[in-house]
Amino acid sequence: MKAVLGVISTLFLAASPFVLYWTLTHQDVTFAALTLLAWVALRTIPIVLTARKEHRRAALQLPAIGLVFALLGLVSNNGVWLLVLPSATQATFGLTFLRSLHTTPLIEHFARMMDPDLGPPQQAHCRRWTSYWGYYLIALSALGLVIAATCSLGVWTLYVGIASYGMVGALFAFEYIVRKVEFRDYNRKNPIDVVISIFAPPKNVAS
């Protein structure tokens, strides 16, 4: 059940910019706001049912942001509030990355799931890239606000629904290449690693 709700929630999130475009061009702010409220419900149910108590508050941040902006749009009948939501979400993720620098950097947390014994160079890499991701996501959120304020609804939809995902994917790919080149830790079953290793051979080979 959790997996099904998670898939539906992800589909709602990916489709929401296009739903907003269609509804707002038809001057139907109410339907757009109700769609976002439905997404909030889909996100909240599995969290309440399955999340650990200590993780629940953090997990509920994103649905709470969606709830606030959906209600603001619904009550005011103003679609501008709904356009702010994706930027608010990205900024929240960015701040989560930056706040984690005070304890365990978020990327280090994920990396330790794969390798609990990270050395100092790997820890430094994780801290550095956690910072990069935090500022990058905040920059993307600011760009989204600028586009929402100065460009047409169509341009905003293309940015939020396609371009911003591409920009996140580009940084993820760049970090992956940098990490592989820096540590030369290749998986020979991964064709991407094989290609990278041609240009940056394993250290024992290079020597």
Look at residue 156 and tell me if it is in a domain: yes
Same domain, 202 and 109: yes
Mean pLDDT (the chain, rounded): 85
Look at residue 97 and tell me if it is in a domain: no
From CA 31, how far away is CA 44, in angstroms rounded? Answer: 20
From CA 129, how far away is CA 151, in angstroms rounded? Answer: 31
Which range, of 12-16, 29-33, 184-188, averages the lowest pLDDT? 12-16
Report which of 23, 48, 47 is spatially closest to residue 34, judged by C-alpha positions: 23
Q: Fill in the DSSP letter of residue 188.
A: T
| Averaged pLDDT for residues 56-77 | 82
Same domain, 122 and 201: yes
Report which of 101, 86, 178 is spatially closest to residue 140, judged by C-alpha positions: 86
Q: Identify the domain boundary among 78, 93, 117.
A: 78
Which residue range is the domain that position 22 belongs to? Answer: 1-78
Give the number of domains in the chain.
Answer: 2
| Averaged pLDDT for residues 89-115 | 91
pLDDT at residue 5, rounded to an integer:
57
Contact 122, 182 (CB under 8 A): no
Per-residue confidence band for 157, with pLDDT thresholds at 50, 70 and 90? very high
Same domain, 122 and 204: yes
Same domain, 115 and 183: yes
Per-residue confidence band for 167, with pLDDT thresholds at 50, 70 and 90? very high
Write down the residue that tokens 């930027």 correspond to: 87
Q: Taking the model in full, what pTM does it have?
A: 0.83
From CA 147, how far away is CA 155, in angstroms rounded? Answer: 7
Which range, of 27-41, 122-136, 154-168, averages the lowest pLDDT? 27-41
**Percent of the chain residues past pLDDT 70, beyond the cut:** 85
Per-residue confidence band for 60, with pLDDT thresholds at 50, 70 and 90? confident
Look at residue 90 and tell me if it is in a domain: no
pLDDT at residue 121, rounded to an integer:
92
| Averaged pLDDT for residues 127-143 | 97
Per-residue confidence band for 206, with pLDDT thresholds at 50, 70 and 90? very low
Same domain, 44 and 124: no
Look at residue 205 and tell me whether its pLDDT is greater than 60: no
Same domain, 146 and 189: yes
Look at residue 207 and tell me whether its pLDDT is greater than 50: no
Look at residue 98 and tell me if it is in a domain: no
Same domain, 18 and 63: yes
Look at residue 15 and tell me whether its pLDDT is greater than 80: no
Sign, CA dihedral 43-46-49-54, equals: negative
- Tell me the range of 151-155, 170-174, 182-186 where mean pLDDT is highest: 170-174
Residue 126: CB atoms within 10 A of its CB come to 21
Look at residue 123 and tell me whether its pLDDT is greater than 90: yes
Look at residue 135 and tell me if it is in a domain: yes
Contact 16, 164 (CB under 8 A): no
